[in-house]
Each structure stands twice: as structure tokens, then as C-alpha cells.
Amino acid sequence: MGKKNGKDKTDGSARLGKAAYYEALEPMELELNQMANWLQATGKRLLVVVEGRDTAGKGGVISAISDTLNPRQCHVVALPKPTERERTQWYFQRYVSHLPAAGEIMLFDRSWYNRAGVEKVMGFCTPAETQAFLQQAPVFEKLLVDDGILLFKYWLTVDQDKQEERFAERLQNPLKRWKLSPIDIKARERYAEYTAARHAMLKATHTPHAPWTLVDFNDQRRGRLKLIRHLLDALPDHAVTEAPIEFPPLGHEPLNEQFRAGLRPL
């Protein structure tokens, strides 16, 4: 899980093509599986928080990480809006049940940072609740790290013109239109407010024990590769020797002809 030698072929300003993207991603997928094996062998717990503006590419990079991993080990957490009961709980309470157990990977597609972003800007929480969150989040995250959880926080950056381009694409594409929520549409009018909220959040929660890593996602493919590379390089380089798998002799059992006669092949 170490850095590759030589020049990174994905460097550059031009948009990364699909073929070059998959060529660069393929060896990282092998490294991600090695990472997963290491987590299982050591019992370590990995928690990755992915945040960013609407259309930044959170779902895409989470899929790039998880697609080739065991879904029983790697879980994506994308919680809906809180229930009436959850609104009366300690704010972090509903996230605690989704923290990783030994050997697990939890990928948060948005997280408790909703309170510092959409909830603050859209008026879903009070200024006092926002301030309490900004004070408690670093404490909460220190408890996680002190308990041994490997915590990574990524903010995906995207320029406003690129965001508008992606909004327009979603509007025009019926297969992507479900991604446009009423909140997304209203958020376009409050771009500056979201920027101010992000600055306040980063200032209050960028800590030595749980720092933020900002990744340029104006080119989503290039951004995915950078984020995955950073994650892999930040983890210990521990190779795990896998036990060889040997298939036993194949058993044969003829299918009952009477049963076969009743089947209707497609």
C-alpha cells in the first residue's frame, strides 16, 4: 500500500479520459483489497467521511472505493433526514451505531457535518445548535481516534461554474434527475452562505487528531484517483499472506429427469 515509483500518469490539467482513468484505477483496486485484508487480519477499523458541495462527486468516489470490496466488510452510510425521535437525541447519537467494528470499513456519504452545512444554511437547526456542534465535533472525533478508529475526512472542492454544469446535466438526463432534490435547487441561491459555513466548519474541526484533506474534484476521475491514493498511502504498509485456496473434487448429482421436465427455460 505504498506510493508508486515514477511519474503519475494522471497528473495534468486536461480532463482525464475514461481509458486512462480505469488504467490508473485498476492497480489501486488491488491495493484496496490488500488494505481490506489487512484490516481483517489486524482487527483495525476504518472510517472515511466524504463531504462536499452538491454534485462534487461524493457518491462516485465512494463507489470507486467500494465496488471491488466485500460488501459484508465495506459499508456505505448515507442516512436520510432524522426522524422525530432522532431529533430529540444527542446529535451524534444516530451516527454511533454506524461506526465500524473490527475489520470493517465505513464510508460516510455525508455525515454529522450536515449540521455545519445544510442544516445551518437552510435553517434546520438553531445558531446555538450549530455552535454546540462545532465545539463537540472535535471532542467526539478525538474519542473515536483515541479508541483506535482510523478516521479520514475528505472535503471535495468544486468551482461554482463546474457545479452549475453538473446541475444542468442532471436536469437534462432523466437517469440522473433523481439526484436533484428540492434542497439542492434551493442551495443554488445560497452559494455564498454555504461557503461561509464551510470556512467556519473547517476552521473549527481541522484538528491534529482528525485533519481535513481537501481534494480538487473539478475533474471527478482525477479527484477519485487522488483521494484513493492519499487514503492508501496514509495507512500502514502491511502485506497480509493469504492462505492458499484449493478446490476439493467436484461432486456430481444428476438432475432428476421428472423435475427437469417441469422446468421452463427462459
Strand partners, 155: 51, 214
pLDDT of residue 5: 41
6 belongs to a structural domain: no
Report the chain's terminal Cα–Cα distance, integer Å: 45
Q: Does any domain span residue 222? A: yes
Residue 169 Cα to chain centre, angstroms = 22
| Domain assignment of residue 220, given as a range | 18-261
Determine the Cα–Cα distance for residues 194 and 25; give it in Å rounded to an integer. 32
pLDDT digits (tens, 9 = 90+) for 70-104: 999 999 999 999 999 999 999 999 999 999 999 99
224-239 CB burial, b ≥16 within 10 A, e <16 = bbbbbbebbeebeeee
Instruction: Establish if 59 belongs to a structural domain.
Output: yes
Q: Which amino acid belongs to residue 17?
A: G
In this prediction, residue 2 carries a pLDDT of 45
85 within domain boundaries: yes
Collect the ranges in the chain with pLDDT lower than 50: 2-8
Q: Does 199 reside within a domain?
A: yes
- Confirm whether 12 is domain-assigned: no
- The predicted pLDDT at position 27 comes to 96
Strand partners, 215: 156
Domain count, the chain: 1
Q: Evaluate whether residue 179 is within a structural domain.
A: yes
State the number of CA atoms in the 13 A half-sphere of 37 facing the CB: 15
CATH of the domain at 59: 3.40.50.300
Strand partners, 51: 155
In a domain, 99, yes or no: yes
Which amino acid, residue 68? T
